[in-house]
Every structure is written in structure tokens, then in C-alpha cells.
Amino acid sequence: MSGDPVKGLEQLRPPEGDAWGGFLAVHALVTRALDADLRARHGLSLSAYEALLKLAWAPGGSLRMNELAQKCLLTPGGVTRLVASLVADGLVERELPPDNRRVVLAKITDAGVRVLRSAHKTHLAGVRARFMQHLDDETAERLGEVWRRIREAQSTEDSAKRRAR
């Protein structure tokens, strides 16, 4: 074990290796760049931007903490803290509906909408320049199809696991 590369690990080579390894690398590079853009131009992290966008897309501009967590792929604890920071910045407010006192609504404020509108432009341009630009329409469509299949498989696996509990 003191000479050359360790043997017996050469599996998952092209084209598999490229498809998977590239996927990881591109995700890291592109999301980092997009996050940096948003921070520099709007003082918003990528997560904060995404949360604002989900809220803006929701009816009434508000969602339960729970729902927001699902849409942002975060745990409830993470959302509590994310929303707390957005509230501190005045971009979101918390609402406690009197008819169901165990839920909390996060609602985007006017200031939040203003910030989101300009951040959205930046972000969209970034996604196009860094990602979309390199996909022709047919590839984009095929990609969407692949992601859909993977998510479907993943969610049926998850519910199988939940059932086994």
C-alpha cells in the first residue's frame, strides 16, 4: 500500500461517472455562484430567496411553516430560523391565525415583494447564463423528464419506509 493508486475501485467510469460526477460538480459550482450573486446584489442568501419566492407564489402570499419547509426542502427547525431572520429584515411577517393556534403563517411583506422582484431578475439571469444557456430545448425537456422520474422513485421509496415504521 505504499506505491500506486489503490486497486479495485475503478468502477462507475464513463459515461456513468461523468453523468454523476458532473452533476455534483455543477451543482456545487452553480449554486455557489448564484448564492454569491444574490448576496452581493440584494443581501439575500439563496435559501432566503427561495423561501420568499415560494411565499410569493402561494395564495395570499403566505404559507404555514410546515408547508414552507416542504417546498424549500428544509426541516421545520431550519425554517423557524430562516423565517426569523427574514422577519428581522422586515421581508416576512409571522401571523398567528386565531382559529388554529398551533399553526404559524409566514407572510411576505410589501418590502419582501420589492426585494424579491429585483432579486428574481438577478437570479433568473444567473440561472440562464450559468445553466439554461448550455441546454438546447430538447435536452432541457429530457432533463425535466429524468428529474421527474427520479423524484417519483424517491418518494415511493420514502413512503415505503414510512409504512414500515
Q: Which residues bind DNA (CB under 7 A)?
A: 36, 45, 47, 64-67, 73-83, 85, 94, 99-105
- The sign of the torsion formed by the CA atoms of 34, 39, 44, 48 equals positive
65 sits near a second copy (criterion: CB under 8 A): no
Given DNA, a second copy, none, residue 31, with its beta carbon under 5 to 8 Å by kind, binds a second copy
For a second copy, which is the closer residue by CB, 100 or 145?
145
Closest CA to 77 of 65, 61, 92: 65
CA distances from 149 to 5, 71, 131, 153 (A): 37, 18, 21, 6
- Residue of the chain from 97, 143, 156, 159 that contacts a second copy (CB under 8 A): 143
The distance in angstroms from the start CA to the end CA of the chain is: 44
Given a second copy, DNA, none, residue 137, with its beta carbon under 5 to 8 Å by kind, binds a second copy
How many chain residues bind a second copy (CB under 8 A)?
A: 66
Given DNA, a second copy, none, residue 110, with its beta carbon under 5 to 8 Å by kind, binds a second copy
Nine cell digits for residue 8? 479495485
Strands (E), 9-163: 62-64, 92-95, 105-108
Nine cell digits for residue 18? 461523468
Tell me which stretch binds a second copy (CB under 8 A): 37-45, 77-85, 92-100, 140-148. 140-148
Cβ proximity of 54 and 69 under 8 Å = no
Tell me which stretch binds a second copy (CB under 8 A): 37-45, 49-57, 77-85, 91-99. 49-57
Given DNA, a second copy, none, residue 26, with its beta carbon under 5 to 8 Å by kind, binds a second copy
